Amino acid sequence: MEKREPGTWPAAKCSSLELPQLLAPVGMGNVCHSAKSLTGASPQHLFAELCTSTSQDPSTLTTPGERTLHERNPHSIPSMKPLSIASALLGLLAASVAGSASSQPKSSKVTLPAEFKPPQVFKNANLVHIISLEKNYVKEQINVLVENVSKKPQDEYFLPFTADQMARVGGFEVKDRKDTNAGPFKAEVVEYDPNSDVQYYRIRLPAKLKPGGQQTLGMSFYLLKAYSPLPASIKQDEQQFLSYGFSAYAPSAYPTSKQKTEIKAPSSAIPDYTKIPAKDDKTIHPQKQGAKLTYGPFNQEIPAGAVSPAHVRFEFSKPVSHMANLDRDIEVSHWGGNVAFEERYTLLHRGANLSTPFNRVKWQQSQYFNPPSMALKELRFPLQPGSVGAYFTDTIGNVSTSKFRSGKREALLELKPRYPLFGGWKYPFTIGWNSNAAPLLRKTGNGGYVLKVPFMEGPRQPEGVEYGQINIRVLLPEGASNVKIHTGVPASSIIEQSIGLHKTYLDTLGRTAVTIRAQNLVDEFRDRDLVISYETTTLDLLRKPLVVFGSVLAVFAAAWAVGKLEVGFSK
């Protein structure tokens, strides 16, 4: 027994239960000590042990000086015993629920031997490669008729990428071109030799393709950080041109009998592009029609892995917006019937830099005519209908140049940064809002809950927006268990999924936190859903009010006990 001055109270030392410190002055020391050794025991056993430990004579917990004080106020400590038992029991029961919240890392990569080479079991009978440069990211589509040329059924198709491309590929999806109702095929990144310049995606066909059989595949993906401004620096009022390098032959791990590549530019202003002579030397590829370039069709067989380097330079009089990082927090409140959102962005303009210092006077004069400009002037965020309380801040503080309209059918947040963004400029900012939980949170028949929110929202711009890293954290009510996660985003873009605890105000054990990390996504995925199902009990819902009530009651009881003390000098 440690020595204390007469008249002092024993402090609670129970870090595993994390009971509110307000309960410490009412003699919770032994209760916490006994409960600490009961982790993992049944609730009945815990309750029995708690009753045994708290049924001791209060005099055994105090010094002789304190025992004299108890004799003066015999009801001060025993009156708090039921509250001590209830508070400790609430914490222990919650621990059994929170223990189920464990990390669940998720990976969509497959490891193969270092000497791996895709077996030549397929042939591309016909292939069409479409490259869209209409937004500030590249969208590629490969529609191919695959034929099994081996003597055995096959169900694995490989698509090659360079190591540089693999780090920037996102949103990889594969579907059946003939059957629109068929779900996306399983696609995984293959890891076999980190030093190789060629990496692969492995696509699982829904069923083994028999020898001689054919399957139509529609593969789509996005390439981020794909453009290079050319020239790299321009004047404030000059037009911006971007350059993109590609292969006139579609990337393939198998021989291709017939193929063509189409380039779609944002406008017909394409001053430079690579020209390739045909085998007959009578025609030159590509054929230009307005904003479209067509390489092919190439009717001769192209061997596996063949590359024909090409590049195109085109006018892009829009900002090249790149969200280097997005941190998205979603907090669910059952008591308030509210879902709170907060998003923190790191925005970077990847367009051409200014060759001369920024001229504010010239900029203001040009706004009267509103000419096309590569500068980013505003952002438009469509939000959930009925959203309220929107705010817009940056590193300096609140930004007043915003407009928010909310109604039953739509809600729109329009932002204007403190300054226009030109190439190479960076702007971190934060937005947030609240939404009614009724349209987002549903209660199931078995007493559980299903939360359905957009995986990502973000600005909707005509030129598009690309996202390098996305970190989503969903804070569920305290005690939520049996958590299940489903996303509409391709699994190849999900880096990690985990379930843990997050402690905030007035929490006893902490709220269940779902964390999802994704990479290389674009604004076309802003309408994909994030669905989380979980279960809570009546005790989970009442835990916080009971703890708050018990803590306040303990404070008043402690104040009453202190007020009964007789301070003075004895004769």
Counting DSSP H helices and E strands in the chain, the numbers are: 7, 33
Distance separating alpha carbons of residues 406 and 74, to the nearest angstrom: 61
pLDDT of residue 38: 35
CB 274 within 8 A of CB 265: no
What's the pLDDT score for residue 113?
Answer: 66
Distance CA 77, CA 71 (A): 10
Q: What angle do CA 184, 185, 186 make, to 5 degrees?
A: 120
Same domain, 508 and 361: yes
To the nearest whole number, what is the mean pLDDT of the chain?
80
Only one residue has tokens 């028999």, namely 210
Q: What is the CATH number of the domain that holds 168?
A: 2.60.40.1730
Residue 34 has pLDDT above 50, yes or no: no
> Is residue 508 a part of any domain in this protein?
yes
**Would the pTM count as exceeding 0.85?**
no
CB atoms inside a 10 Å sphere around CB 490: 22
Whether 470 and 486 map to the same domain: the answer is yes
Q: Is 568 part of a structural domain of the chain?
A: no
Q: What is the pLDDT of residues 401-430, one digit of tens each?
A: 888 998 888 899 999 998 899 999 999 999
What is the band of 563 on the pLDDT scale with cuts at 50, 70, 90? confident
- Residues 284-309, mean pLDDT to the nearest whole number: 90
Task: Give the model's pLDDT for residue 196.
Answer: 79
Contacts of 293 (CB under 8 A, 6+ apart): 262, 263, 265, 270, 273, 286, 287, 312
Of 315, 346, 361, the position where a domain reaches its end is 315
User: Is the residue at 30 inside a domain?
Assistant: no
290 and 370 housed in the same domain: no
Alpha helix ranges (H) inside 472-530: none
pLDDT in tens, 317-341: 999 999 999 999 999 988 888 999 9
Q: Which structural domain range is residue 158 located in? A: 110-315
Instruction: Note whether residue 61 is domain-resident.
Output: no
Going 81 to 87 to 90 to 92, the CA torsion angle's sign is: negative
Tell me the C-alpha to C-alpha distance, in Å, between residue 23 and each of 4, 12, 28: 19, 8, 7
Both 404 and 515 in one domain: the answer is: yes
Structural domain includes residue 403? yes
Q: Select from 215, 218, 273, 210 the least CA-distant residue to 246.
A: 273
What pLDDT, on a 0 to 100 scale, did the predictor assign at position 137? 94
User: Looking at residues 345-370, what average pLDDT do you find?
Assistant: 89
What pLDDT sits at residue 397?
A: 86
Report the domain count for the chain: 2
Whether 310 and 326 map to the same domain: the answer is no
SS3 43: helix
Residue 60 lies in a domain: no
pLDDT higher than threshold 90 for residue 26: no
**Per-residue pLDDT tens digits for 74-129:** 333 333 334 344 444 444 443 443 433 444 444 456 666 667 788 999 999 999 99
* Structural contact between residues 140 and 170, judged by C-beta atoms closer than 8 angstroms: no
Confidence (pLDDT) at 402:
86
Task: Tell me: cis bond preceding 105? Omega within 30 of 0 counts.
Answer: no
Using CA of residue 231, residue 237, residue 239, residue 244, what is the dihedral sign? Answer: positive
End-to-end CA distance of the chain: 30
- Say what angle helices 29-36 and 81-98 make with each other, to 10 degrees: 30
Dist. CA 420–CA 363, nearest whole Å: 9
Mean pLDDT, range 479-487, rounded to an integer: 90
One domain for residues 339 and 307: no
Model confidence at 272: pLDDT above 80: yes
